Amino acid sequence: MVKVSSATRLLRNDKFQTILGLAVFTLIVLLSTLYAADPKLYYGVAVVFLAVYMWLLTPISFIFSTFLIISVSVLLGIFPDDVTPFEGFSSGTLFFLMGAFILAIAFEVQDLHKRVALTFLEFFGSSPRRFIMGVTGVGGLLSMLMPEHGIAAIFIPILLGIYQFSKRENILESNFAKSTLLALSYGTSVGSIATFLGGARNILAVEIFTRHTGETISFVEWFVASIPVSLVMMFLVYFVLEKIFHLEEVDMENIRRNIKRELEEMGDLTWGEGKAALFLLVGFITWATIGQIIGMGVVAVMLAFAIGATKTVTWDDVESRMPWGTLFLYVGAVTLSLVLPETGVLEVIATSLMGVVGENPFLILGLFATLAVFISGVMSNAAVTAILLPVAIPSMEPLGMPTIVPVFTIALASAFAFITPIGTPSAMLVYGTGHLNPKDFFKPGLILSVVGILVFLTVGLGWWKLLGYW
């Protein structure tokens, strides 16, 4: 038993994992150099392995893994002369993400998110079932306006406080508490697919699509294409949770009274909250109208400047709350999307894929949606998008299926990491409360994963057909 325990501790050690990953990478490179007729192809395989390994196990932070991917790609001579290895840092999309995060920080600093959350929860507080519906819906709608992990971080202390108002013993171990925490996790995930503000994977998917095809997807186009899938999944999240968890009697009247009291204690809307709401409105209108003309990133930095100039947030707020790891993960993902086609890895994977599943585009889309859903259970969904989308786009081209369809399929499906508590940042946050265990995620998560894939192949493809995307 001692030996097993020691081995387990070693395998979980970050230094050991880093050394092991680099050792395997080095072995692939050496064998390719010595024996392969075209070592560049295997260099690409080695870089893909290293990226997936580092993003999956995260023995080092996303910042350092991005530096590593860039470094080895340059040393192996993968980048052509006309492409800079720092392409991801010069992307307007990176600055869009920074601006979007600063807008989210303004919401958080000014407590506008709390006022909105409490207002809606009071409205939905007449019964336990309506409350689950409210948490799913409000979490989903708010995650269209700011990153899902930010919404989860906001909601968790609110929910934990609300539970105590029920006057029920062991309320934190009840099905009511478990179902509402899962509703928060799942609701924010499915809501985040609807806009570029919901998560880095959405805008990353557009960046990869643009680099491959020269075309783009506007803020409005993305919203119109994804909102039906998002709303259908919100309803299904509520429906599945309500059916699986047998809800106990809860004193909802007392909960509503205390929510109302908290709102009264917050007082009238403050000037800071008003500024945050105004910036959100201006941002939405500007991104939807002139964003495609002057650039989404330009709009974002102008918005960020205005937020800072009006003291809605300070640099200290930005420095401490900005998800720097997510920004560097985006850069690493862009780098990987450049490495894959340059080394020929994409062509080999796409050809092999069609050899296995045939040339039915719907079957291939179903396969990619399934992979995105289940791989996202163990890896960042932005990383999953970076790995799968560059493969999916060339796989669709020879089959006559427009390449925009796999963009929506993979980016949206990668948000449906319901089965494990490590699938999304919001899942990790609700799991971190200590009131859920992995088994609580598995059953509803598995059902929703399967249902989510079916939604893509029915509602999604049907809606995209009406929009003329295929």
Please report, in tens digits, the pLDDT of each residue of the chain (470 residues total): 444 566 667 667 889 999 999 999 999 999 999 888 878 889 988 998 998 888 888 899 888 999 999 999 989 988 766 677 788 888 788 898 898 889 888 988 888 877 888 888 888 888 889 999 999 998 999 899 888 887 888 788 888 878 877 766 777 788 888 999 999 999 999 999 999 988 788 988 998 899 888 889 999 999 999 999 999 999 999 999 999 988 777 778 888 888 888 888 888 889 999 999 999 889 888 988 888 788 888 999 999 999 999 999 999 999 998 888 888 888 888 888 777 777 887 777 777 766 777 778 888 888 889 989 988 887 778 888 888 888 888 888 777 788 899 999 999 999 998 988 877 878 888 888 888 888 899 999 999 999 999 999 899 999 999 999 88
Which residues does 124 contact at the CB level (< 8 Å), separation at least 6?
130, 131, 133, 134, 135, 137, 138
Q: How far apart are CA 404 and CA 460, in angstroms?
A: 13
What number of other Cβ atoms are within 10 A of residue 298's Cβ?
17
- Rounded to two decimals, what is the model's pTM? 0.82
Q: How far apart are CA 465 and CA 470, in angstroms?
A: 5
pLDDT value of residue 28 = 93
Q: Delimit the domains of the chain by residue range.
A: 1-82, 111-269+344-466
CA distances from 252 to 150, 163, 164, 170, 263 (A): 26, 10, 11, 16, 17
What number of other Cβ atoms are within 10 A of residue 82's Cβ?
5
Rounded to the nearest 10°, the torsion over CA 115, 121, 122, 127 is -170
Question: Among 54, 51, 32, which residue's Cα sits nearest to residue 43?
Answer: 32
pLDDT value of residue 114 = 79
What's the full length of the chain, in residues? 470
pLDDT value of residue 2 = 42
pLDDT value of residue 1 = 43
Question: Left (φ > 0), alpha (ψ -120 to 50) or beta: where does 424 sit?
Answer: beta
Per-residue three-class SS string for 403-442: CHHHHHHHHHHCCCCCCCCCCCHHHHHHHCCCCCCHHHHH
Which residues does 158 contact at the CB level (< 8 Å), separation at least 6?
114, 117, 118, 121
Rounded to the nearest 10°, the torsion over CA 260, 263, 267, 272 is -160
Question: Does residue 419 contact residue 446 with C-beta atoms inside 8 Å?
Answer: yes
- By CB atoms closer than 10 A (0-12, 13-18, 19+), residue 117 is buried
Question: Does residue 148 contact residue 430 with C-beta atoms inside 8 Å?
Answer: no
